[in-house]
Amino acid sequence: MKRIGVFVCWCGSNIGGVVDVPRVAEAAKEMPNVVFATDYKYMCSEPGQELIIKAAKEHNLDRVVVASCSPRLHEQTFRKAAERAGLNPYMFEMANIREHVSWVHAQEKEKATEKAIELVRRAVFKAARLEPLYKSAIGITKKALVIGGGIAGIQAALDIADAGFQVILVEKEPTIGGKMAQLDKTFPTLDCSS
């Protein structure tokens, strides 16, 4: 038996102003494998994350679904919250009910709520099939290559070299300096460009 917790976010009025958020949370409770569902004003905030961590422990959750904004914004936030709750960070799934629902269906509140429930169901079904994933470690060659020896390349090379790393600077012309070396005084201070 999987134990999924669903957390539905209001995003203030961003989602809550359109979608009936408590109804989405209620509907989630009826979905397979869901043992806990609730809603909160700002799920990404510190109290919101604490809510997830506390619920995970109390209800012995083994996977988490957050219905809120785009994963581009807060996927990493909630993966870390899951990790703090003692779960594998990849045992987390997100449903985007802001960009995909409330922001684009502001005029159709009833249908928006139905769509939000659908998207939460999608996330719940996927969550049930999640497996823990683990990051692997790769080594690093502590040396940098800079291609182009104009002002940009020289500046980057010097900064990296000053930090103590080896730099290879490759320039196709017989001299470094690039366009900068061709210039006379430079604005706005009119100092020389050598």
Partner 1 sequence: MAAAAQHPNIKLYTYAEVTEVSGYIGNFEITIKQKAKSVDHNKCTGCGTCWEKCPTKVDSEFDLGLGKRKAIYIPFAQAVPNKPVIDRNTCRQFTKGKCGVCQKVCPTGAVDYDQQDEYIKEKVGAIVMATGYDLFEWEKVYGEYGYGRYPDVITGLHFERMASASGPTGGKIIRPSDGKEPKTVVFIKCVGSRDDQKGKSYCSRACCMYTAKHAHQVLEKIPGAQAYIFYMDVRTAGKMYEEFYAKTLEDGAQYIRGRVSKIYPLGDKLIVRGADTLAGVPVEIEADLVVLATAMVPAKGSEEIAKIVGFSLDKDGFFQEAHPKLGPVETTTGGVFLAGACQGPKDIPDTVAQASAAAAKVIGLLSKDQLAAEPIVSQVNEELCSGCELCKPICPYKAIDMKKITERAHGKVIERTVATVNTSLCQGCGACTVACRVGALNLKGFTNEQLLAEVEAICL
Touching partner 1, residues 102-131 (CB under 8 A): 118-119, 121-126, 128-130
Of 69, 64, 60, residue with least CA distance to 16: 69
Q: Residue 99 CB: number of other CB atoms within 10 A?
A: 14
Build a one-symbol-per-residue string for 135-154: x at contacts with partner 1 by CB under 8 A, - elsewhere. xxxxxxxxxxxxxxxxxxxx
Q: Give a three-class secondary structure readout of 1-65.
A: CCCEEEEEECCCHHHHCCCCHHHHHHHHHCCCCEEEEEEECCCCCHHHHHHHHHHHHHCCCCEEE
Closer by beta carbon to partner 1, 44 or else 167? 167
Residue 194 makes contact with partner 1 by CB under 8 A: yes
Residue 44 makes contact with partner 1 by CB under 8 A: no
Min CB(138)–partner 1 separation in Å: 5
Closer by beta carbon to partner 1, 107 or else 136? 136
Closer by beta carbon to partner 1, 51 or else 169? 169
Longest Cα–Cα distance in the chain: 74
User: Within positions 67 to 106, which residues make up the interface with partner 1, using CB under 8 A?
Assistant: 90
Query: What is the token pair recorded at 55?
Result: 């619920």
Closer by beta carbon to partner 1, 106 or else 133? 133
Which of the ranges 8-16, 38-46, 101-109, 169-177 carries the binding residues for partner 1, by CB under 8 A?
169-177
Min CB(68)–partner 1 separation in Å: 18
Q: Residue 48 CB: number of other CB atoms within 10 A?
A: 20
Closer by beta carbon to partner 1, 5 or else 10? 5
- Peptide linkage before 188 cis (omega within 30 of 0): yes
Residue 156 makes contact with partner 1 by CB under 8 A: yes
Site residue total, partner 1 (CB under 8 A): 72
d(CA 101, CA 115): 7
